[in-house]
């Protein structure tokens, strides 16, 4: 049984999805989904243990050996990402039932869980698989289900947002497919391990460079790197709150995983950073992304949109850290993958609580919430502090590593800009705090109560995780350092 | 009665402490006792007494007595005695105590044997005397007092630094003759010079003395500058520089005194003028000259005290002190008028008055050392003194145009206080040996020879003639309400105006720069807002074709950069 874990990880949510349709009673479906996700979470914990003890796990699907069959490879990076995705999805699912009853029409409840599980299994598949084409397939599963999830939003703008995401996302997927196709053409294999062995011999080839470019641009679109980010804000803003939380915390992380996997494992560091100007591009786009997205966030009037732009800027931080091209930078990027998932998950869950009670996430509707929803607002404040990078929160840990990485490269202007980005973050967080705590509600909505426990519990689980891993980051730092080592970036 | 010997300053300090707890007539009586007890104590003290304290490796010598210090000790007691009588009616605790401490500090300064102890007394003099100025309790006196104390502290600081440097160089801090070379000695010299009201360092005196209380000014005029004269005589006797400094001091105040309206300020200028004679004497440095300087200091305390007291009396009775407000007071204040005239005659060095017997010593010694230019300057100064102190003061206060004021003579204590120095002025003038026996150096000198008397009388006669002629012709500067500034113009007018101009300029530039920077910032923020606000270019929901375009651009960039 335990040797089947890599595939179970993916298969369980995938099979649970159609089963949901059979159960068809919302509350039961919710429980079923939650259990499926939790099982995946438990499996991911076991997997990370196994990886730590016995190294990379190789699992051949249907016992077909690698070149012919599909191979699942779980090393530190996969295990780490699996842990993040399943953990976040399980916690978010805790709140799903309460939240969607307020935001979705009755007949869509079951559909929501089906799509959620499909999306989850798609992401887990992307992470677990060791086959390049398989990545594309799972990416399509995850993407299509997430388009649909976004389209479930009550706001009619959710439909257009989903459509735009669909079109642009498909374009990105096509780019990825072109990249993979070119690689297959050059090497005759789709297995990542084989690719990584054969590609270095072809590093002079123009086709390979084009393959790399198409692939990277496609992935950058998926992870919403700054000038390719247009689809994201509206998609996050108009999707149901649970979906926003789930996608913000996990989807972009998975895209970054693909980038990491292909840069470090498939193409190799030397090809990516030495032959190709990836470092310059990532640094430049990262910096511009941080500053622009943060500045846009300052001017937003919808808090969901504000945090969507904040996500773009935080992703840009990760990209910037990658662009440092040193081991500390990679550790910082990996740390921020985890930490940003914790922050954004908590913040969007808190927003779902606001949405549940107030029915809107316009900034003006936040006035007076500091009094009427103290726990929710406290969660937003702590999450916001984490976002800024105040010590004792996870945000501080990853920002700290980024600063060190930039100083190691003698890029002190970058250091200054990172700090400037933190100041901008402080500004947009302060806007929310100011509205919530220092303005009184003019509309006289005094009946607003604190959010129900089912929403507060997952929010605060994530907030406490923010604080715990901020105070005691030993686990995350150990695992990210091991990951960086396994990716070959660490001596 | 008192068997044990006390240092001369002790009686005053003890009385000051007791006065703190008494009031009314008791404290007046106690204060009167202080100079009597002090003088008795001083008379009893064995002249060979030397007290020594060893502090770390420093040989401190807080009490040393010799003939030079003794004569200053006597005149300070005398001055304290008549000044306290003069101030008997004053019921101001601050003035009472501060004048006692001030006298004690001055006595201490005169009897110390090392520079560090001198510094302590120096600072105590400054600290206690400033309250005599502030006791006037007007805004003007407050600021004058502030400037005064700043000057005094600078002097004290220079003395301290100079002492340390001198100690470092010579390994001794003995307060005796100091070789005028090296930074330490120079600093000490300047410190003494400030207290002595050297030209350009004198402004605190003419600024603050006229702002003090009527009785406070009497104390001030008697003590501070005389301590400085003593210190110079002790340390820098025979320095030629002092001759020229002294000559300038005698001459330059005359011009200011002539145009000054405040009669007490006129006296302050004449004080500098008189100190100038002493400084010249110290600079000459012969025994005769030093005797002249010391005796002139002695006499100056008497007649300057007398003049200040008479002006104080006028001020006390009329509330005014400007020459332009006064006049024809002789009708109702005859006694004060007579006493003032005695003082005026003394300061002008009329024969038979004490100014003559001491000033002539200085003049003779100058001639003996063949400083003819200096001698002429001193002659001019003598004429000038007669002008502004001998004629101007009594003329504008008691004679001149009728101001309509009909003030009575001052209270009895003031009259008695004035009577004492007036009597002494005459007594010393007629029997100079009363004074001469106390002089530090035994020197056979007789002021009343033919040439002296004749020359001085002629000088005074023509000076008087000149005053009359100038007054009749209307050329004599009219008495006007004004604040005349001399060197203090530099820091009371020039510096503040430069400062405020500078500040204004800085403010202007600062405001301008800030305006520009703020405008730029506003513009930048506006641009940022235009691009970043909702529906701005960066945050607008772009059309799909635009999104596709951006993807293509990025891809193109990637490829371009890859192939370069």
pLDDT-derived band at B434 (thresholds 50, 70, 90) equals confident
| Residues A317, A244 share a domain | no
Please say whether the dihedral angle defined by the alpha carbons of residues B91, B94, B99 and B100, taken in this order, is positive or negative: positive
Contact status, residue A226 vs residue A293, Cβ threshold 8 Å? yes
What does the pLDDT read at residue B258?
83
* Torsion angle of C-alpha atoms B229, B234, B240, B245, degrees rounded to 10: -20
Give the predicted TM-score (pTM) of the model.
0.59
Cβ–Cβ < 8 Å for B33, B15: yes
Structural domains counted in chain A? 2
B538: number of CA atoms within 13 Å, CB side?
23
- pLDDT given for residue A1 in this prediction: 60
Residue of A213, A302, A307, A310 to mutate, testing the B interface (most B Cβ within 10 Å of its Cβ): A213
- DSSP letter at B405? -
The sign of the CA dihedral A467, A472, A473, A475 is negative
Neighbouring-strand partners of residue A131: A191
> CA-CA distances (angstroms) from residue B102 to B58, B76, B99, B223, B311?
26, 11, 5, 8, 22
Question: Greater confidence, B283 or A67?
Answer: B283
Q: What average pLDDT does this structure show over A30-47? A: 91
> Of the residues A247, A276, A305, which one is the last residue of a structural domain?
A276
Give the C-alpha distances (Å, rounded to integers) separating B523 from A324, A425, B512, B530: 33, 22, 16, 10
Q: What is the mean pLDDT of residues A439-455?
A: 75
Give the pLDDT of residue B104. 93
Do A190 and A240 share a structural domain?
yes
- A16 contact B CB<8A: no
Q: Is the backbone of residue B431 left (phi > 0), alpha (psi -120 to 50) or beta? A: beta
Q: Is A109 exposed, middle or buried (0-12, 13-18, 19+ CB in 10 A)?
A: buried
Q: Is the pLDDT of residue B2 over 60?
A: no
Closest residue to A300, CB basis, from B534, B547, B554: B534
- Chain B within 8 Å of A206 (Cβ-Cβ)? yes
Cα separation of B164 and B158, whole Å?
10
- Grouping H, G, I as helix, E, B as strand and the rest as coil, residue B59 is strand
Q: Do B532 and A280 touch (CB under 8 A)?
A: no
pLDDT in tens, A145-181: 999 999 888 888 888 889 988 988 999 999 999 999 9
Domain co-membership, A44 together with A159: yes
Mean pLDDT of A426-430: 90
The three-class DSSP label of residue B513 is: helix
Q: Which of B258, B213, B230, B1 is nearest to B109 (CA)?
A: B230
- All residues of chain A having their beta carbon less than 8 Å from the beta carbon of residue B560 are none
Tokens at B438, concatenated: 């106390």
A160: nearest CA in chain B? B541
Residues A128 and A166 in one domain: yes
Q: Which of B534, B562, B563 has the highest number of chain A CBs within 10 A, making it the mutation to test binding with A? A: B562
- Predicted pLDDT at A90: 92
Q: Are residues A119 and A145 in the same domain?
A: yes
Average pLDDT over residues A319-338: 88
More confident residue, B541 or B412: B412
Distance in angstroms (rounded) separating the CA atoms of residues A18 and B416: 125
* Residues A185 and A228 both lie in one domain: yes
User: Across residues A48-63, what is the average pLDDT?
Assistant: 83
* Confidence class for position B424, pLDDT limits 50, 70, 90: very high
Task: Provide the pLDDT for residue B81.
Answer: 92
A264 and A377 both lie in a single domain:
no
Beta partners for residue B51, in sequence order: B63
Residues 6+ apart with CB under 8 A from A313: A289, A290, A291, A292, A293, A294, A297, A421, A424, A425
pLDDT band at B484 (very low <50, low <70, confident <90, very high): low
Q: What percentage of chain B carries pLDDT values higher than 70?
A: 95
Q: Do A296 and B532 touch (CB under 8 A)?
A: yes
pLDDT of residue A490: 52
Give residue for tokens 């007290």: B51
Distance CA A216, CA B304 (A): 102
- B398 alpha carbon, distance to own chain's centre: 27
Contact A233 B550 (CB under 8 A): no
Average pLDDT of chain A to the nearest whole number: 87
**Domain span at residue A406?**
277-491
Segment A202-230, tens digit of pLDDT: 777 788 888 888 998 899 888 888 888 88
Most distant pair of Cα atoms in chain A: their distance: 70
Chain A residues with CB-CB distance to B537 below 8 A: none
Adjacent-strand bridge partners of A58: A73
Task: Note the pLDDT of residue A257.
Answer: 92
- At A491 the pLDDT is 46
Lowest-confidence pick of A398-402, A439-443, B271-275, B517-521? A439-443
> Cα-Cα-Cα-Cα dihedral of A342, A344, A349, A352, to 10°?
180
SS3 A131: strand
Mean pLDDT over residues B508-515, rounded? 87
Coil, strand, or helix at residue A362? strand
pLDDT at B169 over 70: yes
B551 touches chain A (CB under 8 A): yes
Q: Residues near A407 by Cβ (< 8 Å), separated by ≥ 6?
A: A415
Collect all residues of chain A within an 8 Å Cβ-Cβ radius of residue B542. 230
Burial of B139-165, coded b for 16+ CB within 10 Å and e otherwise, reads: eebeebbebbbebbbbbbebbbbbbbb
pLDDT score recorded for residue B388: 83
Contact B251, B380 (CB under 8 A): yes
Q: Is B557 on the interface with A (CB under 8 A)?
A: yes
The torsion angle over the Cα atoms of residues A263, A268, A270 and A276, rounded to 10 degrees, is -40
- Please give the radius of gyration of chain B, using alpha carbons only, rounded to the nearest integer: 32
Q: Which two tokens stand for residue B49?
A: 């007494």
With residues binned 3-state (H G I as helix, E B as strand, rest as coil), the percentages for chain A, rounded to 5, are 80, 5, 15
Any idea which of A312-326, A437-451, B64-78, B162-176 has the lowest mean pLDDT? A437-451
Q: What is the predicted pLDDT for the residue at A404? A: 87
Q: Does A234 touch chain B (CB under 8 A)?
A: yes
| Calpha distance B17→A394 (Å, rounded) | 71
B534–chain A Cβ distance below 8 A for any pair: yes
Count of residues in chain A? 491
Whether residue A283 sits in one domain with residue A259:
no
Does B226 score more than 90 pLDDT? yes
Does the beta-carbon distance from A167 to B544 stay under 8 Å? yes
**pLDDT at position B84, please?**
92
When pLDDT is cut at 50, 70 and 90, the band that residue B121 belongs to is very high
Q: Where are the alpha helices (DSSP H) in B45-92?
A: 67-86
- Interface check for A223 against chain B (CB to CB < 8 A): the answer is no
The rounded distance, in Å, linking the Cα atoms of A80 and A339 is: 12
Q: Which helix (H) or strand (E) holds B62?
A: strand B58-64
Is A259 in the same domain as A334? no
B550 touches chain A (CB under 8 A): yes
Residue range B552-562, pLDDT digits in tens = 888 888 888 87
Q: Which residues contact A457 (CB under 8 A, 6 or more apart)?
A: A94, A95
* More confident of the two residues B154 and A372: B154
pLDDT of B57 > 70? The answer is no
CA dihedral B74, B77, B80, B82 (to 10 degrees): -70
**Packing angle, helices B372-385 and B354-368, rounded to 10:** 160
Q: What span, in angstroms and rounded, lies between the C-alpha atoms of A305 and A248?
A: 12
Please indicate if any CB of chain A lies within 8 Å of the CB of B558. yes
Do residues A168 and A221 make contact, with C-beta atoms less than 8 angstroms apart?
Answer: yes
Angle at A59 between CA A57 and CA A62, to 5 degrees: 170
CB A187 within 8 A of CB A231: no
Same structural domain for residues A124 and A248? yes
How far, in Å, are A327, B143, B204, B211, B330 from residue B138 at the CA level?
76, 9, 17, 9, 29
Domain termination site, one of A236, A255, A276 = A276
Query: A270 and A315 share a domain?
Result: no
In this prediction, residue A254 carries a pLDDT of 92
| Residue A234: predicted pLDDT | 86
Q: How far apart are CA B37 and CA B14, in angstroms?
A: 11
Q: So what's the pLDDT on residue B1?
A: 40
Distances (CA, A) of B292 to B197, B288, B296: 19, 6, 6
Domain termination site, one of A243, A259, A276: A276
pLDDT at B359 over 80: yes
Same domain membership, residue A318 and residue A398: yes
* Tokens 């007071």 -> residue: B329
The fraction of chain B above a pLDDT of 90, given in percent, is 30
Q: How many CA atoms lie within 13 A of B18 on its CB side?
A: 15
Alpha carbon distances (Å) from A473 to A329, A398, A463, A480: 17, 10, 15, 11
| B548 contact A CB<8A | yes
């Amino acid at each position: 049984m335990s040797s089947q874990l890599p595939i179970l990880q993916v298969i369980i949510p995938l099979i649970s999805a159609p089963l949901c349709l059979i159960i068809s009673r919302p509350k039961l479906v919710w429980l079923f989904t939650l259990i499926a996700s939790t099982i995946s979470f438990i499996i991911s914990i076991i997997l990370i243990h196994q990886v730590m003890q016995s190294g990379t796990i190789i699992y051949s699907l249907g016992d077909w050996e690698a070149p012919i069959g599909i191979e699942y490879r779980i090393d530190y990076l996969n295990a780490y990402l699996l842990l993040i995705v399943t953990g976040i999805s399980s916690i978010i699912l805790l709140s799903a039932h309460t939240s969607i009853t307020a935001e979705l029409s009755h007949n869509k409840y079951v559909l929501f869980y089906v799509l959620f599980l499909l999306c989850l299994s798609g992401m887990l598949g992307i992470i677990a698989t060791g086959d390049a084409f398989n990545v594309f397939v799972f990416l399509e599963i995850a993407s299509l289900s997430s388009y649909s999830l976004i389209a479930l939003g009550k706001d009619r703008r959710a439909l257009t947002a989903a459509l735009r995401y669909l079109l642009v996302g498909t374009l990105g997927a096509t780019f990825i497919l072109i990249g993979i196709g070119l690689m297959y053409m050059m090497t005759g294999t789709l297995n990542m391990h084989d690719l990584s062995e054969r590609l270095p011999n072809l590093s002079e080839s123009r086709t390979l460079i084009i393959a790399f470019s198409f692939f990277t641009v496609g992935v950058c679109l998926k992870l919403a790197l700054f000038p390719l980010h247009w689809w994201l804000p509206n998609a996050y803003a108009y999707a149901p709150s649970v979906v926003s939380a789930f996608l913000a915390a996990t989807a972009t992380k998975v895209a970054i995983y693909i980038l990491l996997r292909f840069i470090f494992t498939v193409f190799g560091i030397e090809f990516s950073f030495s032959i190709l100007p990836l470092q310059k591009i990532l640094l430049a786009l990262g910096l511009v992304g941080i500053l622009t997205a943060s500045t846009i966030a300052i001017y937003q009037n919808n808090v969901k949109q504000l945090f969507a732009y904040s996500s773009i800027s935080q992703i840009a931080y990760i990209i910037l850290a990658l662009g440092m091209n040193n081991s500390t930078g990679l550790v910082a990027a990996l740390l921020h993958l985890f930490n940003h998932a914790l922050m954004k998950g908590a913040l969007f869950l808190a927003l779902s609580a606001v949405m549940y009670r107030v029915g809107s996430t316009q900034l003006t509707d936040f006035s007076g919430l500091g009094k009427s929803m103290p726990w929710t607002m406290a969660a937003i404040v702590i999450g916001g502090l984490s976002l800024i990078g105040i010590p004792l929160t996870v945000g501080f840990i990853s920002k700290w590593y980024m600063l060190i990485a930039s100083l190691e490269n003698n890029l002190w202007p970058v250091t200054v800009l990172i700090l400037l980005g933190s100041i901008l973050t402080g500004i947009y967080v302060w806007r929310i705090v100011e509205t919530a705590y220092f303005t009184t509600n003019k509309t006289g909505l005094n009946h607003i109560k604190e959010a129900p426990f089912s929403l507060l519990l997952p929010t605060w689980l994530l907030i406490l995780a923010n604080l715990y891993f901020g105070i005691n980051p030993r686990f995350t730092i150990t695992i990210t350092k091991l990951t960086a080592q396994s990716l070959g970036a660490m001596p | 009665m008192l068997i044990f010997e006390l240092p001369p300053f002790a009686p005053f300090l003890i009385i000051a402490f007791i006065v703190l707890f008494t009031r009314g007539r008791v404290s007046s009586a106690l204060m009167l006792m202080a100079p009597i007890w002090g003088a008795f104590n001083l008379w009893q003290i064995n002249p060979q007494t030397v007290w020594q304290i060893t502090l770390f490796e420093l040989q401190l010598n807080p009490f040393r007595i010799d003939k030079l210090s003794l004569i200053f000790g006597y005149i300070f007691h005398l001055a304290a005695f008549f000044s306290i009588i003069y101030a008997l009616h004053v019921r101001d605790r601050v003035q009472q105590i501060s004048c006692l401490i001030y006298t004690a500090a001055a006595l201490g300064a005169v009897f110390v044997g090392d520079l560090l102890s001198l510094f302590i007394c120096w600072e105590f003099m400054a600290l206690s005397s400033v309250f005599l100025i502030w006791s006037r309790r007007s805004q003007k006196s407050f600021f004058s007092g502030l400037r005064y104390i700043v000057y005094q502290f600078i002097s004290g600081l220079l003395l301290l630094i100079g002492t340390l440097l001198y100690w470092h160089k010579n390994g001794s801090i003995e307060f005796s003759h100091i070789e005028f070379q090296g930074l330490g000695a120079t600093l000490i010299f300047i410190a003494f010079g400030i207290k002595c009201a050297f030209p350009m360092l004198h402004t605190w005196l003419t600024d603050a003395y006229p702002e003090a209380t009527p009785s406070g000014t009497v104390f001030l005029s008697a003590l501070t500058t005389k301590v400085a004269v003593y210190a110079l005589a002790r340390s820098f006797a025979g320095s030629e520089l002092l001759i020229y400094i002294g000559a300038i001091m005698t001459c330059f105040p005359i011009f200011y005194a002539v145009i000054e309206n405040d009669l007490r300020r006129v006296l302050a200028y004449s004080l500098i003028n008189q100190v100038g004679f002493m400084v010249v004497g110290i600079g000459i440095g012969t025994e005769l000259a030093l005797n002249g300087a010391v005796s002139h200091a002695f006499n100056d305390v008497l007649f300057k005290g007398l003049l200040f007291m008479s002006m104080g009396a006028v001020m006390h009775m009329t509330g005014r002190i400007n020459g332009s407000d006064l006049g024809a007071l002789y009708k109702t204040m005859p006694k004060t008028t007579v006493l003032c005239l005695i003082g005026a005659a003394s300061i002008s060095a009329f024969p038979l008055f004490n100014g003559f017997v001491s000033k002539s010593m200085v003049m003779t010694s100058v001639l003996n050392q063949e400083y003819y230019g200096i001698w002429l300057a001193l002659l001019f100064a003598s004429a000038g003194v007669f002008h502004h102190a001998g004629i101007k003061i009594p003329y504008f206060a008691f004679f001149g145009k009728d101001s309509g004021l009909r003030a009575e003579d001052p209270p009895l204590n003031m009259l008695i206080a004035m009577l004492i120095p007036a009597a002494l002025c005459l007594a010393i003038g007629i029997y100079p040996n009363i004074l001469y026996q106390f002089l530090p150096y035994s020197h056979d000198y007789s002021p009343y020879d033919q040439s002296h008397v004749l020359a001085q009388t002629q000088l005074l006669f023509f000076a008087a003639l000149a005053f009359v002629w100038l007054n009749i012709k209307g050329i004599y500067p009219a008495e006007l309400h004004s604040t005349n500034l001399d060197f203090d113009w530099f820091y009371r007018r020039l510096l503040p105006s430069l400062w405020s101009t500078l500040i204004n300029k800085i403010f202007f530039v600062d405001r301008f720069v800030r305006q520009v920077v703020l405008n730029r910032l506003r513009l930048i923020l506006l641009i940022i807002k235009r691009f970043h606000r909702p529906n701005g270019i960066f945050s607008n929901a772009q059309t799909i074709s635009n999104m596709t375009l951006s993807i293509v651009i990025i891809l193109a960039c990637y490829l371009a950069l890859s192939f370069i």
